[in-house]
């Protein structure tokens, strides 16, 4: 059993949903996964498709043991988005569900 991270950030908790869209290129999943690993965010589900030359991914992430706030990880993901010319959103599951309710 892995030890709990002593830097656990209690302000980040629950499931958040990450979405990524943009032109397909090498390293998208690797860069995002590395950012999650660095901040002790567990990826619990991922769905990824290539539609023609476009990359589309959704990822469910558990922030229970995160070492940063959701705002901090959003800033980190924004830097990845800028460098790779992607559109990345990361929001709490409740907000995601409310925005995508039909």
Domains of the chain, CATH where assigned: 15-99 (3.30.70.260)
What is the token pair recorded at 88? 């990345």
- Per-residue pLDDT tens digits for 47-94: 999 999 999 999 999 999 999 998 999 999 999 999 999 999 998 755
pTM for the whole structure: 0.78
Of 60, 55, 47, 49, which Cα lies nearest the Cα of 92? 60
Q: What is the DSSP letter of 9?
A: -
Distance CA 102, CA 61 (A): 23
pLDDT (0 to 100) of residue 23? 98
Cα→Cα distances 64→23, 61, 99, Å: 31, 9, 23
* pLDDT, position 98: 52
């Amino acid at each position: 059993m892995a030890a709990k991270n002593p830097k656990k950030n209690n302000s980040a908790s629950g499931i958040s949903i990450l979405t990524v869209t943009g032109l397909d290129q090498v390293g998208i999943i690797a860069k995002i996964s590395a950012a999650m690993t660095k901040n002790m965010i567990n990826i619990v589900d991922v769905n990824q498709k290539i539609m023609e030359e476009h990359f589309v991914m959704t990822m469910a992430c558990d922030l229970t043991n995160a070492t940063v706030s959701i705002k901090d990880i959003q800033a980190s993901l924004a830097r990845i988005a800028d460098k790779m010319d992607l559109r990345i959103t990361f929001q709490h599951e409740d907000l995601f569900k409310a925005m995508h309710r039909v």
